[in-house]
Amino acid sequence: MAIRNLRYENDEILKKRSREIEVIDEKIKELAQDMMETMHKWDGVGLAAPQVGVLKRIIVIDLYEENTQFTLINPMIIKEKGTQEVDEGCLSFPNKYGKVTRPKEVVVEALDIEGKKVKIKAKDLLAQALCHEIDHLNGIVFTEKVHTGTLETVTPENK
């Protein structure tokens, strides 16, 4: 396992749509492990493959509670319900935060790391994280969805 380099704000790869994963081989499993390790190093809740420079449809999420760690391949939101206004940040936009409207609840279908179909019913923070990371796979970054006038840069001085 290894820590991967994050891609930041103006990197063109963050604007590109990721490709479906056809085969879950050892390279994909290694990528998933590296992504989880990279996300943990930076205390993130989620990470998408484009954020480490790989245009493949894979995300990792960890809410740091029991049974809230996920590796999802080719995830798709199949149902949304309600809305929530949330404060959001992103590992690819260090120290930037803003208010975003996300679905309150989602249902996501994907494959797990073994290639088994999974369906996740999520609400609140997990729903937010799933939407944020799936947006990354579609070349959409959170700053495109931030409510006007709410994007802030937080530095150690103004924390």
Chain-wide mean pLDDT for the chain? Answer: 96
Instruction: Give catalytic status of residue 133 as yes or no.
Output: yes
Catalytic residue among 133, 144, 152, 157, which? Answer: 133
The span from the CA of 80 to the CA of 51, in Å, is 25
133 pLDDT more than 80: yes
pLDDT attached to residue 1? 74
pLDDT attached to residue 11? 97
Banded pLDDT at 149 (limits 50, 70, 90): very high
**Digit-coded pLDDT (tens) for 103-121:** 999 999 999 999 999 999 9
158 pLDDT more than 60: no
Query: Hey, how many other C-beta atoms are within 10 angstroms of the C-beta on 35?
Result: 25
Q: In this structure, what are the phi and psi dihedrals at residue 38, rounded to the nearest 5 degrees? A: -65, -45
The span from the CA of 95 to the CA of 73, in Å, is 28
State the Cα angle at 56 between 151 and 143, rounded to 5°: 5
pLDDT attached to residue 159? 52
CB 108 within 8 A of CB 59: no
Give the mean model confidence (pLDDT) for residues 112-136. Answer: 97
89 pLDDT more than 80: yes
39 pLDDT more than 60: yes
Bigger pLDDT: 1 or 136? 136
Give the mean model confidence (pLDDT) for residues 27-36. Answer: 98
Write down the pTM of the prediction: 0.95
Instruction: Identify the CATH homologous superfamily for domain 12-153.
Output: Peptide deformylase (3.90.45.10)
DSSP state of 15: G
157 pLDDT more than 90: no
pLDDT attached to residue 155? 79
Percent of the chain whose pLDDT exceeds 70 = 97
Handedness of CA 78, 127, 62, 18 (dihedral sign): positive
CB 137 within 8 A of CB 59: yes
CB 133 within 8 A of CB 35: no
